[in-house]
Amino acid sequence: MKNYITRDAWKIVEDGFHKEFNEITESLMSLGNGRMGQRGNFEERFSGKTLLGNYVAGVFFPDKTRVGWWKNGYPNYFAKVLNACNWTGIEVEIDGEILDLNTCTYEHFQRVLDMQRGVLERECTLTTPEGKQLKIRTRRFCHMVEDESGAISYSITPLNFDGTITLTPFLDGNIQNRDSNYNETFWNEIKKETSFAEGILVMETKPNPYGVEQYQVATGMRFDLKKNGQILDFQSLPVRDEKYVAGKVPVQLIQNEELTLFKYAVNLSSMNHTSENLIPDTKVYLNRLAEKGFEQLLEEHVAAWAAKWEQNDIQIKGDVAAQQGIRFTIFHLQQTYTGKDERLNIGPKGFTGEKYGGGTYWDTEAYCIPFYLSTSEQQVARNLLIYRYKQLGKAIENATKLGFDMGAALFPMVTMTGEECHNEWEITFEEIHRNGAIAYAIYDYVRYTGDKDYLTEYGLEVLIGISRFWKQRVNWSVQKNQYVMLGVTGPNEYENNVNNNWYTNYIAAWTLRYTLEALEYVRNQGKIEDISSKVAFDFASETAQWQHIIDNLHFPYDSERQVYLQQEGFLDKELLTVDQITSHRPINQKWSWDRILRSCFIKQADVLQGLYFFEEDFSEEEIRRNFDFYEPMTVHESSLSPCVHAILAAGLGKKEKAYEMYLRTARLDLDDYNNDTEDGLHITSMAGTWMSVVKGFAGQRVQDGLLILNPYIPEEWESYSFRLGFRGVTLTVAVSQDSVLITNPSAAGIEIVVHGQKELVAGQKAFPLKA
Amino acid sequence: MKNYITRDAWKIVEDGFHKEFNEITESLMSLGNGRMGQRGNFEERFSGKTLLGNYVAGVFFPDKTRVGWWKNGYPNYFAKVLNACNWTGIEVEIDGEILDLNTCTYEHFQRVLDMQRGVLERECTLTTPEGKQLKIRTRRFCHMVEDESGAISYSITPLNFDGTITLTPFLDGNIQNRDSNYNETFWNEIKKETSFAEGILVMETKPNPYGVEQYQVATGMRFDLKKNGQILDFQSLPVRDEKYVAGKVPVQLIQNEELTLFKYAVNLSSMNHTSENLIPDTKVYLNRLAEKGFEQLLEEHVAAWAAKWEQNDIQIKGDVAAQQGIRFTIFHLQQTYTGKDERLNIGPKGFTGEKYGGGTYWDTEAYCIPFYLSTSEQQVARNLLIYRYKQLGKAIENATKLGFDMGAALFPMVTMTGEECHNEWEITFEEIHRNGAIAYAIYDYVRYTGDKDYLTEYGLEVLIGISRFWKQRVNWSVQKNQYVMLGVTGPNEYENNVNNNWYTNYIAAWTLRYTLEALEYVRNQGKIEDISSKVAFDFASETAQWQHIIDNLHFPYDSERQVYLQQEGFLDKELLTVDQITSHRPINQKWSWDRILRSCFIKQADVLQGLYFFEEDFSEEEIRRNFDFYEPMTVHESSLSPCVHAILAAGLGKKEKAYEMYLRTARLDLDDYNNDTEDGLHITSMAGTWMSVVKGFAGQRVQDGLLILNPYIPEEWESYSFRLGFRGVTLTVAVSQDSVLITNPSAAGIEIVVHGQKELVAGQKAFPLKA
């Protein structure tokens, strides 16, 4: 755990240069706008520890699978989000000395990510090895409106000399993914152009043998300069090299004169522009940016962020660390996915790193959709659902490869295009509960929005595909006289290849039930024939089979403790609690894999994940018994674990536990709890942090079309408030130590259930806080 | 399945050149002498499909582990037997045209591996692309006595021209292992020398970061020539290049003159020679070889093979395919391991290929030791046991890495030095039954030889280490009120991470029992204090704990069918038989891994392996019930499976099944059943073929110090006979369709139990064959 980030309500501040943590800071200070993004790398050369990262949404490469031992069924490639052309670079030369931030001494250094405005700023005073003292100020953003662009303002002032400062803004495509499986590079140069104060580099992803689309990305830059705030007439010498363009600008400066370079950059991808238009569109775009100029672009950008915060902010009073943590998560979620493009999704690291390949996981459905449902227009969550709908065909192909038929669909564990990328048999082939999460997200969306048309238009087809998979994935056990599901891995990945994982069985049976409901709804709408004939659905026989499974699926249960068993045979384990193995933690670093597997310890909620999803099916006492049984065995070594426990604990009135779990998620990256922030941020688990507050402390639910709140406040806080978009209105919920104040700016009132009481809220309404 | 090898009792014959199968032929025609070996590569250039392979026993390289996803506990390296300097090469140039066997046309072509004499021969008449017709005759062997050497006689005759033939015998160290994890090479050149008709190349394995010993190997060659059988005075031009030495010998020939090159080569490794002595020793060795000359060397070699066959041959009359098959297996087993050096062991491919790294597997204990016990001096099997004894310390370290303590030992799944090399969690960490096989081999050796002193000297220490492992590996299940063993993989690798694998539990409990017996024996010998203090053994407490486990370990059992269950929950599977999935076979090529895992289908005997090992603990009816339950579910997709079934089926009087299973093992490689002979031969499973005959058809067992035979003869055969070394005598057992003739050349008679009757056999004794 690190503690070098200054606590501030709106800013992530590094005071003094912590070189040793530079890769962590780069992750924390990543910028993005849903369309492109980048790590908080320096503009200048830095020969120290750094992970250069620039990413263009949706652009990936199918890297040849690497395994130790091949298992039949493994996919041939693992799609990797591509580390793309570096557009932020500015080489700085002072009287012939190249500035390397790693070799300077610093009189002053501050890096700030201003989350309110979405701007990365730096100010430092440094001395080079040759004794030149300089002041540098930078500002940078990825534009939230002009979302294929970014801009940099780079100011430099000689403090102890007169001399020549040469600035060389460049675009560099000599980039390798750090996690390349075989140390290969993935880009080819297609074209490059330079002209006065402009450079364009078009690159294409290398050919691949998997039939995966090749992408072209045109990266363009334009720059202009000011001296002491006045427009400067400058000379620029164009430079062209392999996958590299630049413009060299030498400027004579007198001591204390400030030179400012404005660099405008765009990344246009062939996902959104035809190949022929890439260069012309780049030029038009650059012209527009340069015409507006840095300050106007910044103004638009800050306004866009203000609107986002208006919708999304969570304010916490009395705890600046918690305030900073929650805003940090909201900020990054909003940077990563804006919901404008249904081809895009949310990679586990967003635009902050390469780890896990940047593909789509079930995290999206289980954790992110609730966040976007409450904080963004309905379209955003809907697009995330449509993303999967469009991949249904691939999910059916994927299931076919694994031996299923008749339209059974298995959505991949990790994917870009709908094809499976992951290659670890116990996950790829067996962590099939993900399929249930995709069904659940449809339910969750319809429940929250009331948009039942979605079922008819898209949802039912997906549900049928998934239900067909479950139908074929179970088998009849003569021994048990029940259906069983053999060989699965649940959300708790510290168990592999188990039989009758309770969570997976539950979500399978639930999917079948919900699909039957959805079928009934669509039939009542008179739309069933279209879908039935499209997917060759045999209504009578398939629904009867599903009902038979619903009625006869096995669920392991311990009648003595009255708890659901995580899987068959769980009670054969030595049942210990986490506090008995304190010196062995984290077990994923201290124990070999087999020891983890045969222990009782849980990585991430498994039975509890099911009780969270399907809360309404269980009594509070049941939930409590299971929580009390499993939580003490849970090591939370997945970033996705604590939030579910926080929500359940809050619901059970276990306030201390809820707060403890909240703390584990809220500052996970800011304080580098898991020693891995340098790889990038845990973007998807950030949605869990938001849920811990809204679904946990504030007890937000939706039932029968009604918004429900059961708020309480952790005693560590003075107050907290958040916005909630729900069916066309945006409510503000403000919770203090003794009351809940709900504000509905819409004239039309809305019925809300607060602490079990249904109330019509129009304007402001205060409720006493339940103890 | 291929059918191009001519059937012959003593020879492996390729008539006509089957270029497309060249890598298969190279595997089949591999040569070795226990100390070095090589694939049957051509001497001349061959631009077609070939896997060049030369190996020096014990010389390996720790190749950096390659995995898709790292699991805690994986070893850093995978030791690879090293493809070493190619010493067989002879470049041939005819009037400036380099001979490439791939581009010639053949009037005649025959390759023969003469197993009786241990010689690889080739005779062919060919025409080059430029129209030169040549006759070539080669003979090659790896010397069975001078076992660091080999020799080649290479004869070439111009048939349609007079001209210059230039022969360039060379040593080439530019070799890469085909299975190198990252396409790296593993050799550095240290030194090279050339002089007239001689070349020496010393190479060293590259440095590694794992503290693994680097090996040096000096490869030397000497050559001389004859023309039409007369010693030839020739010119030789030495050539030196990177990791390459050669001598270029141009000779003028008149049509039909035969030129013969004799090439003598040695491979001296730093395992057996000091670094300084490598070159001097090489020179001495080469001198000796050249002095003896090819024909004398050949004579010694053939005599050594004759002695081996005298001890080992199995003769089968009336079935040349079976005869060829069984001699093929005996030949390769004897080439691979001669038992002279306790540092060596039996790699799964011997000297015939690189696959599986050439390390030691439990195959040695479970399959090979019975073969060597019966066919070689006692010392051979004993050395195989001592190999493991010497690695006991590493096995304890290995267990410690996985969280065990107090001297618990886990022998590796794959190893060279005692350190684990394998990296597949379900195998590496969980296929722990291997530990039991190592204990069983001690029992098997003592039972066969009566050498109980081995227990005192070495065996007991190993047994204690393994027993301590089992003790810690089980845990008490409160639920079952018994001990359980969770998270293992049995011999049937088509199940992973199962609980209470019957075979593993059985061999664990058996190990504890046998260790208690061994302790008792050693205590009675008055030797217990030495061992107890050496391994800090707490007699009273440890033996009591073991007894408690023996008395309370859980064994899954189906009381309805009265069969042992392969593992917990086996009956939840859909119980199908192999004949119901004919079109899906082999399932390891047609099904994804998860489908294989959740099916009932068995790769290799699991419960049946236990019944085979511990036959005496079970009634024939029990064995029959289990055989009838499991065999129909067994796909035998491991080369190690059929032999165990053949033996059990034979014992149960299931003669057709026994013969079917025998056929699956006997010509596995000769007919390339599994489409993988090109990678090398299945050396360790060859011991299973031998067992199918001797333990299967002839029903050979040892009980209470007595040799037992229950022979019958497959009706397809006229007769078969084999030699059996047992406690100082070598018996011949000849079985015809109506009798068994046992010959004991030793004057002292030996008691043998034939068909249940104890008889003293001295000289010859005939018994009627039981129906």
- Confidence band, pLDDT 50/70/90 cuts, at residue A2: confident
Q: What are the φ/ψ torsions at residue B326 (nearest 5 degrees)?
A: -70, -35
- Please name the residues in contact with B99: beta carbons below 8 A apart, sequence gap of 6 or more: B44, B45, B91, B92, B93, B128, B134
> CA A381 to CA A378: how far, in whole Å?
6
Q: What are the φ/ψ torsions at residue B511 (nearest 5 degrees)?
A: -60, -45
| A650 in any annotated domain | no
Tens-place pLDDT, residues B366-407:
999 999 999 999 999 999 999 999 999 999 999 999 999 999
| A178 in any annotated domain | yes
The answer to whether B47 contacts chain A (CB < 8 Å) is no
Say whether A502 counts as a known binding-site residue. Answer: no
Tens-place pLDDT, residues B702-749:
999 999 999 999 999 999 999 999 999 999 999 999 999 999 998 889
| Cα of A571 to nearest chain B Cα, Å | 6
Residues of chain B contacting residue A80, judged by C-beta atoms under 8 Å apart: none
| Cα of B323 to nearest chain A Cα, Å | 36
Nearest to A569 among B182, B499, B595 (CB): B499
Say whether A604 counts as a known binding-site residue. Answer: yes
- Residue window 490-549, chain A: list those with CB within 8 Å of chain B: 496-497, 499
Residues of chain B contacting residue A71, judged by C-beta atoms under 8 Å apart: 592-593
Of all residues in chain A, the one with the smallest CA distance to B586 is A72
From the list A753, A733, A731, the residue with the least C-alpha distance to A744 is A731
The answer to whether A729 contacts chain B (CB < 8 Å) is no
Catalytic annotation, residues of A: 493
Residue with the two structure tokens 């039935």: A532
Beta bridge partners of A265: A150, A221
Which segment, A667-676, B451-460, B669-678, is predicted with the most confidence on average? Answer: B451-460
Q: What is the mean pLDDT of residues A505-534?
A: 96
Q: How many CB atoms lie within 10 A of CB A299?
A: 12
CATH code, A14: 2.70.98.40
Which residue, of A312, A341, A374, is where some domain finishes? A312
| Cα of A516 to nearest chain B Cα, Å | 27
From the list B223, B185, B224, B222, the residue with the least C-alpha distance to B206 is B185
| Cα of A574 to nearest chain B Cα, Å | 7
Stretch (H or E) spanning B735: strand B729-736
Of all residues in chain A, the one with the smallest CA distance to B78 is A68
By residue range, what is the domain housing residue B757? 698-771
Tens-place pLDDT, residues A375-409:
999 999 999 999 999 999 999 999 999 999 999 99
Cβ atoms B223, B257 nearer than 8 A: no
Determine whether the interchain pair B68/A73 forms a contact, defined as Cβ–Cβ distance below 8 Å. Answer: no
Query: Is pLDDT at A263 greater than 90 in this prediction?
Result: yes
Beta bridge partners of B54: B38
> CA B294 to CA B281: how far, in whole Å?
20
Please tell me the predicted confidence (pLDDT) of residue A748.
85
Query: Is pLDDT at B1 greater than 80 in this prediction?
Result: no
Strands A706-709 and A719-726: unpaired
Nearest to A595 among B402, B596, B597 (CB): B402
Nearest to B592 among A403, A496, A592 (CB): A403
Q: Which amino acid is at B254?
A: I
Determine whether the interchain pair B68/A68 forms a contact, defined as Cβ–Cβ distance below 8 Å. Answer: yes
Q: Which of B493, B495, B542, B568 is catalytic?
A: B493
What token pair was written down for A569? 């045979």
| A771 in any annotated domain | yes
Give the Cα-Cα-Cα angle B334, B644, B592 (nearest 5 degrees): 105
Q: Does B493 participate in catalysis according to the annotation?
A: yes
Query: Is pLDDT at A770 greater than 90 in this prediction?
Result: no
Q: What is the mean pLDDT of residues B665-669?
A: 91
Tens-place pLDDT, residues B533-582:
999 999 999 999 999 999 999 999 999 999 999 999 999 999 999 999 99
Q: What are the φ/ψ torsions at residue A64 (nearest 5 degrees)?
A: -55, 130
- Residue window 583-642, chain A: list those with CB within 8 Å of chain B: 588-598
Determine whether the interchain pair A594/B402 forms a contact, defined as Cβ–Cβ distance below 8 Å. Answer: yes
Cβ atoms A504, A448 nearer than 8 A: no
Stretch (H or E) spanning A465: helix A460-473
Q: What is the mean pLDDT of residues A666-680?
A: 90
Say whether B362 counts as a known binding-site residue. Answer: yes
Q: How many CB contacts within 8 angstroms connect chain A with chain B? A: 136
From the list A336, A339, A314, A337, the residue with the least C-alpha distance to A324 is A314
**Per-residue exposure over B588-605, b if at least 16 CB sit within 10 Å of its own CB, e if not:** beebbbbbbbbbbbbbbb
Percent of chain A residues past pLDDT 90, beyond the cut:
95
Q: What are the φ/ψ torsions at residue B82 (nearest 5 degrees)?
A: -95, 130
Cβ atoms B575, B602 nearer than 8 A: no
What token pair was written down for B215? 């090996």
Determine whether the interchain pair A424/B499 forms a contact, defined as Cβ–Cβ distance below 8 Å. Answer: no
> CA B609 to CA B643: how far, in whole Å?
10
Average model confidence (pLDDT) for chain A? 96
Cβ atoms B711, B726 nearer than 8 A: no
Q: Within a 13 Å sphere around the CA of B626, how many CA atoms are in the beta-carbon half?
A: 25
Determine whether the interchain pair A594/B425 forms a contact, defined as Cβ–Cβ distance below 8 Å. Answer: yes
Beta bridge partners of A92: A167
Q: What is the mean pLDDT of residues A85-97?
A: 97
Nearest to B72 among A569, A571, A588 (CB): A588
Q: What is the mean pLDDT of residues A60-65?
A: 95
| B481 in any annotated domain | no
From the list A264, A327, A259, the residue with the least C-alpha distance to A293 is A264
Q: What is the mean pLDDT of residues B95-121?
A: 98
Of all residues in chain A, the one with the smallest CA distance to B478 is A572
Which residue, of B256, B285, B312, is where some domain finishes? B312
Say whether B603 counts as a known binding-site residue. Answer: yes
Stretch (H or E) spanning A153: strand A149-158
Surface-to-core class of residue B718, CB atoms within 10 Å of its CB (0-12 exposed, 13-18 middle, 19+ buried): exposed
For A276, the 3-state DSSP assignment is coil
Query: Is pLDDT at B175 greater than 90 in this prediction?
Result: yes
Residues of chain A contacting residue B590, judged by C-beta atoms under 8 Å apart: 72
Determine whether the interchain pair B593/A478 forms a contact, defined as Cβ–Cβ distance below 8 Å. Answer: no
Determine whether the interchain pair B497/A597 forms a contact, defined as Cβ–Cβ distance below 8 Å. Answer: yes
DSSP state, residue A694: I
The answer to whether A16 contacts chain B (CB < 8 Å) is no
Cβ atoms A638, A604 nearer than 8 A: yes
| A180 in any annotated domain | yes
Query: Is pLDDT at B771 greater than 70 in this prediction?
Result: no
Q: What are the φ/ψ torsions at residue B439 (nearest 5 degrees)?
A: -70, -45
Number of domains present in the structure of chain B: 2
Please tell me the predicted confidence (pLDDT) of residue B433.
98
- Residue window 154-193, chain B: list those with CB within 8 Å of chain A: 182
The answer to whether A561 contacts chain B (CB < 8 Å) is no
Cβ atoms A72, B589 nearer than 8 A: yes
| A760 in any annotated domain | yes
Nearest to A402 among B484, B575, B595 (CB): B595
Query: Reading across the β-sheet that carries A719-726, which strands appear in turn?
Result: A314-317, A719-726, A729-736, A739-744, A763-768
- Residue window 53-92, chain B: list those with CB within 8 Å of chain A: 65-69, 71-73
Residues of chain B contacting residue A67, judged by C-beta atoms under 8 Å apart: 66-68
- Say yes or no: ipTM exceeds 0.90: yes
| B608 in any annotated domain | no
| Cα of B72 to nearest chain A Cα, Å | 5
Q: How many CB atoms lie within 10 A of CB A439?
A: 27
| B60 in any annotated domain | yes
The answer to whether B210 contacts chain A (CB < 8 Å) is no
Determine whether the interchain pair B486/A573 forms a contact, defined as Cβ–Cβ distance below 8 Å. Answer: yes
From the list B566, B576, B652, B562, the residue with the least C-alpha distance to B609 is B566
From the list A713, A694, A606, the residue with the least C-alpha distance to A647 is A694
> CA A307 to CA B436: how far, in whole Å?
68
Of all residues in chain B, the one with the smallest CA distance to A487 is B598
Query: Is pLDDT at A771 greater than 70 in this prediction?
Result: no
Which residue, of A248, A277, A312, is where some domain finishes? A312
Strands A31-32 and A97-98: unpaired
The answer to whether B430 contacts chain A (CB < 8 Å) is yes
Intra-chain end-to-end CA distance of chain B, in Å: 34
DSSP B369-438: HHHHHHHS-HHHHHHHHHHHHHTHHHHHHHHHHTT--TT-----SSBSSSS-----HHHHTT-THHHHHH
Tens-place pLDDT, residues A623-645:
999 999 999 999 999 989 999 99
Q: What is the mean pLDDT of residues B307-314?
A: 92
Residues of chain B contacting residue A591, judged by C-beta atoms under 8 Å apart: 72-73, 403
Tens-place pLDDT, residues A423-477:
999 999 999 999 999 999 999 999 999 999 999 999 999 999 999 999 999 999 9
Query: Is pLDDT at A329 greater than 70 in this prediction?
Result: yes
pTM over the 0.90 mark: yes
Tens-place pLDDT, residues A557-572:
999 999 999 999 999 9
Nearest to B593 among A72, A592, A594 (CB): A72
From the list B143, B87, B135, B140, the residue with the least C-alpha distance to B113 is B140
- Confidence band, pLDDT 50/70/90 cuts, at residue A357: confident
Of all residues in chain A, the one with the smallest CA distance to B588 is A72
CATH code, A707: 2.60.420.10
The answer to whether A579 contacts chain B (CB < 8 Å) is no
Radius of gyration from C-alpha coordinates of chain A: 27
Q: Which region among A198-207, A477-486, B180-189, B494-503 has the lowest average model confidence (pLDDT)?
A: B180-189
Q: What is the mean pLDDT of residues A290-295?
A: 97
